[in-house]
Structures are given as C-alpha cells and as structure tokens.
A and B are shown apart, each in its own frame.
Chain A
Amino acid sequence: MKVTDMKLPIYLDYSSTTPVDERVAEAMTKCLTLDGNYGNPASRSHSFGWDAEKAVEDARGHVAALIHADPKEIVWTSGATESDNLAIKGAAHFYQKKGKHIITCKTEHKAVLDTCRQLEREGFEVTYLEPQSSGMIDLDKFQAAIRDDTILVSIMHVNNEIGVIQDIKAIGEITRKRKIIFHVDAAQSPGKAEVDLRDMNVDLMSLSAHKVYGPKGIGALYVCRKPRVRIEAQIHGGGHERGMRSGTLATHQIVGMGEAFRIAKEEMAADNERILMLRNRLLNGFKDIDEIYINGDLEQRIPGNLNVSFNFIEGESLIMALKDIAVSSGSACTSASLEPSYVLRALGRDDELAHSSIRFTIGRFTTAEEVDYATQLIKGAVVKLRDLSPLWEMHKEGIDLKTVEWAAH
C-alpha cells in the first residue's frame, strides 16, 4: 500500500466499535425496501412474514454456530447492555426465593455493575471480587465468596479495556456443581476468543453485533436449555422470543448480526493471526520507550488489544497529541469526576499509571502501514510530553515520587 492510500485519522479503537463489514451491510440492505425482505417475521398469514422469519432463523443459526449453541437458545435483544440487564435482573428476579446473593467482579462492564447496583437497591446483596494484578480472577477467592444463598454469578469473558480472557470453563465447573446460575458477558469475544458452550457450563451469555463488524443496536442473549435456565422477562408485549423479550424483530439488524457472526466463524483464525502480528509490531515499536507498563496479562488476552501506561504522561494530553489516531484513554478526565479507569484501579495500578493509560485495539481493517505510522506519532508525542512533565524531570533527578507530599486539590 502506498503512503497516499492511508486515511487519517487511523482507527485503533476496535473494542469500542467496528465498521460494518461490506458483506454485512449488503445483506442488511436487502431487508428494508419494497423490493426487499421487509415483512414482519411474526406475520404467520403470508409469504412476507414467512420470508422474514426464514431470514431471522438463518441468522439465529449463524449466531448459535459461532458459540456452539442450539439456535433455540438464542434470544434477540437490542445489544449486550440489554442482554446483561435481561440476564442478571431476569435470573435474580426468577430465583430470588432461593437466595439473594450475587457475585461479580470489579472489572466488569458498567452494564453489569450498574445492573447489580440496581439489584442492591432492590434488596439483593452483591460481592464484587477483586481480580489479580493480571486481571484474572483468583479461583480460590471466588470459591470463598460463594455462599449458600448465592443464586447468580456474572463474570465477563473478555475485558473491554485490557482484553484479558477469563477462564470461563473453570468458573463454570464451580457454579454448575453448586447449582448457581452463571452469566457471562461476552460482548467482546465473538471472532476474537474461542467460545464453545458445549463444555463451558455457562447458563446465560450476552452477545453483541457491533464489536464484530455487525450493526449497532442488535445483540443476543444465550439462554441454556439443558439444564433449563429460567429468566423473568424485562420487556413485556407480544410474547416474541418465547416470551423472554417482546418487540417486533428487526429483520435487517438480525440479518446483519447473523452475517457478521457467519463471517467471524469463517475468518476468525486468519483474522486473529494477522491482528496478533500487528499487535506485536506495535508493541515492538514501543520497546525503546522508557517507563511503559502493559496493563493486564499479555498472554491471556485477545490478539487485538494493547493497553499501555506511559508513565509521567497524562492520558488525555497524550490523546490530544495523537489526533491522527483514534484511541481510548483509561483516564476519564473529560468527565467531571477526574476518576482514572476503575478497571486499572481494580488491578491495583497506581492512580498516576491509570491516568497515563491508552487502549489501542486493532481490527480486521488495520494495516501494517497504519501501525507503523501510529508508532512514530506515539514516540514523538511521548518525548514532547515528557519534556513538559515535571514528574519526568523529578524521575530523572532520581526523586521517588511516592515520597513526595502532594498538595491534593
């Protein structure tokens, strides 16, 4: 590829969302207009409905196939946030007579944490596990947290910030033995980390389309049939999706998600090999930079994620210097709270390292040339901002910043 072909800014935020694959977009556009498959999948009395229903069921099959589930176990939702809400509130409400204790982890997505907070307001008790510094859950600590009245465990598969992959199978073995419902937020997994529900002992799994080159606004919840898992519906209406989630099915969105998952299954191995090569190329490009820290385990991690703290540089100013690349900062300085990433804090990272973190996520359309260009930009910005940093100056003078008494404001 020639230099002139590269488009700026460079997108390195694939864990935030992905562009819709052309093949997905094409399949979706066939389900909208007068010439297309526009019927209501719930219409039983004519071919418009039957055709739409067939498209929806084909898509359900593609989604199920990627995670090795039965298509009957897939319930369409508006996205992973709704799936998390439906799974956690639905299971908690259904099984509350058995107990009111829930276990989750501090590094979960807000869709899980805030749902748990809501259940606490309703009288449930929630244990928030502290992960190890690698981001992985300590299974002994997890087992110790289980009580006789524990009804639900919610642990994510792939972390959105640090890309760390939890040992879902090991957790599932424990929950199944104790007859505790196990929910897994797998919004970040499809196409990146292997999901085989035939031997994971997972009861509920949240899925999303837009993280895997499908459209936004569509997701699914896997609801295990053997053993049968029950959830209370959160949205009531026409009784769609076997009563678990009412509302007219969005054929074009569902077809998009199905196509995205079909492609993911077919191309996952090749995609991941190439993406890992690019991730390592980026990491290798940083090797001359002093005082950088990788956040989260580098081995137990999806190929496309690199979360790095550049010590003595504040994340937001670094992002500002990198305006030609689109990345996320672990520092939420843009919000009024001034809180650094709660995920990095949960790993035990110092506030300043949490403030200095950048998440790079590489995807299907990233090129080696883009990675090289980004590396050069980052190296230049790090030099510039460290020249500006009083902390870097103190570090160079040999002052241990931990011994300094700061005037907090």
Chain B
Amino acid sequence: MAYSDKVLDHYENPRNVGSFDKDDRSVGTGMVGAPACGDVMKLQIKIDDDGVIEDAKFKTYGCGSAIASSSLLTEWVKGKTLAQASEIKNTDIAEELALPPVKIHCSVLAEDAIQAAIEDLKSKDASGAEHKKIA
C-alpha cells in the first residue's frame, strides 16, 4: 500500500515524541486503543496558567498512519485552548494526511485521544481547586 508523502514525513520524522509526568496537574493524558486491535495512542497535553496548550507529546503503537495521525495532532494542538483543541475532528486529520478509507480509524483514534486528554485535565481540575496555582 502506498502512503502519502505527509504520512511518510511524520512517520520518518515524528514530532513531539515523548512523555510528561502524568501526575502533573497541568498535564492531561489520553490513552486510547488496545494492543489487541493493533493500535494504542498516548497523547499528553500541558497547559499554561491561561489554559492554553503550551506543549504536547505522544507515543503510539500502531501502523504508520496511526503514528502520523498522532504526530500531526501534537503539532495542531499547541497554542490552542482546550475548547479549540476539542474541536479538532478526525476528518481534518484524515484529509490533511490523505488517509485511505482503511486507515480512517487511525484519525478517529487521534480524535479520541485529544478528547480523552482534555477529559483527564478537567477531572484533575474538578478534584482540586488548587490546580492553577500548582501549575
């Protein structure tokens, strides 16, 4: 199967690979997928005092399209507020990377990952009002 140039570029030079401390209150972690299904995506976002995403990191177990989808996502979310980031749709990712129909699920997984990361941040926020100061 032929991959698009953009998928190849992200696969060969993945952006923002790595991890933040998941217990850090300014960090939201989204881990989606399952090893049995052939892909697991871990996306982490770090917000500043104003609630803007200042940094993002990912690690992905999966095919080239899954790796490219998550790599692209880390680039896109930086500088966005949580509200803006939550508006990223899988179709935007699929279109940008020119994913073929059998790989659409990779972009769906990326959308799930950002939603899960945002949820994680929000739940941390709810469990402690001190959050902003600590961050």
- Whether B33 contacts A333 by the Cβ 8 Å rule is no
Complex CA distance for A313 and B64, rounded to whole angstroms: 11
Chain B residues, Cβ within 8 Å of A150: none
Chain B residues, Cβ within 8 Å of A390: 31, 40-42, 59-61
Complex CA distance for A389 and B63, rounded to whole angstroms: 11
Complex CA distance for A146 and B39, rounded to whole angstroms: 41
- Whether A312 contacts B63 by the Cβ 8 Å rule is no
Interface size class of A (residues with CB under 8 A): 20 to 34
The yes or no answer to A15 lying at the interface (CB within 8 A) is no
Q: Which of A334, A336, A387, A406 contacts B35 (CB 8 A)?
A: A406
Question: Quick one: given A317-B62, A334-B102, are A407 and B38 in contact (CB under 8 Å)?
Answer: no
| Interface residue tally for chain B (C-beta within 8 Å) | 33
Q: In the complex, which of the residues B41, B61, B63, B108 has the most CB atoms of chain A within 10 Å of its own CB atom?
A: B61
Complex CA distance for A331 and B102, rounded to whole angstroms: 14
- Whether B60 contacts A407 by the Cβ 8 Å rule is no
The yes or no answer to A177 lying at the interface (CB within 8 A) is no
Q: Which of B14, B33, B35, B105 contacts A388 (CB 8 A)?
A: B14
The yes or no answer to B19 lying at the interface (CB within 8 A) is yes
The yes or no answer to A314 lying at the interface (CB within 8 A) is yes
Binary per-residue interface labels of chain A (393-409) against chain B in the complex, 1 for a CB within 8 Å, 0 otherwise? 10000000100001111
The yes or no answer to A352 lying at the interface (CB within 8 A) is yes
Chain B residues, Cβ within 8 Å of A407: 31-34, 112, 116
Question: Quick one: given A320-B3, A335-B102, are A391 and B35 in contact (CB under 8 Å)?
Answer: yes
The yes or no answer to A372 lying at the interface (CB within 8 A) is no
- Whether B19 contacts A393 by the Cβ 8 Å rule is yes
The yes or no answer to B126 lying at the interface (CB within 8 A) is no
- Whether A409 contacts B64 by the Cβ 8 Å rule is no
The yes or no answer to A106 lying at the interface (CB within 8 A) is no
Chain A residues, Cβ within 8 Å of B40: 390-391, 406
- Whether B34 contacts A408 by the Cβ 8 Å rule is yes
- Whether B112 contacts A409 by the Cβ 8 Å rule is yes
Binary per-residue interface labels of chain A (361-389) against chain B in the complex, 1 for a CB within 8 Å, 0 otherwise? 00000000000000000000000000111
Chain B residues, Cβ within 8 Å of A351: 35-38
Question: Quick one: given A320-B11, A407-B32, A409-B108, are A338 and B62 in contact (CB under 8 Å)?
Answer: no
Chain A residues, Cβ within 8 Å of B112: 407, 409
Complex CA distance for A392 and B17, rounded to whole angstroms: 13
- Whether B32 contacts A409 by the Cβ 8 Å rule is yes
The yes or no answer to A39 lying at the interface (CB within 8 A) is no
Q: How far is the CB of B111 from chain A (nearest CB, A)?
A: 11
Q: Which of A336, A352, A388 contacts B102 (CB 8 A)?
A: A336
Would you mind naming 7 contact pairs between A and B with Cβ atoms under 8 Å apart? A317-B67, A338-B37, A338-B105, A387-B17, A406-B40, A407-B32, A409-B34
Q: Which residues of B contact A (CB under 8 A)?
A: 1, 3, 11, 14, 17, 19, 31-42, 59-64, 66-67, 101-102, 105, 108-109, 112, 116
Nearest 4 interchain pairs by C-beta: A406-B34, A351-B36, A352-B35, A390-B42
